[in-house]
Amino acid sequence: MLNARTTGRRGLVVAASAFDPKKIRAISLDVTGTILVHAEPIMKTYADCAVWARLPSPPTETELKPAFKAAYKQMHFDYPCFG
């Protein structure tokens, strides 16, 4: 490892010797809206998938929206790096 100090993104100074790639267990990348763009609103995509999967009573976009928002909020609380 290098002992030099480098200026990272946003002007943070990081000691290169503090970085140990063997300790990395996971890398999370948020690509939605940058690399991946949905062709339709996400609620429509989920509703269409429910119909495609032939669920007995598939939810509508309107029904999915509050449930999706609540689940997203809970996941963000339980797992801060989620989405």
Output the pLDDT for position 70.
93
pLDDT category, 66, cuts 50, 70, 90? very high
DSSP one-letter code for 78 = H
Are the CB atoms for 28 and 34 separated by under 8 Å? no
Report yes or no on 75 lying in a domain. Answer: yes
Q: Evaluate whether residue 48 is within a structural domain.
A: yes
* Structural domain that includes position 38: 27-83
1 inside domain: no
Residue 35 inside a domain? The answer is yes
Quick check: is 14 in a domain? no
Q: Considering its fold, how many domains does the chain have in total? A: 1
Is residue 11 included in any domain, yes or no? no
| Whole-model pTM over 0.85 | no
Instruction: Inform me whether the pLDDT recorded for 58 exceeds 80.
Output: yes
Rounded CA gap, 81 and 44, in Å? Answer: 25
- What are the Cα distances from residue 68, in Å, to 12, 17, 18, 28, 35? 36, 43, 40, 21, 22
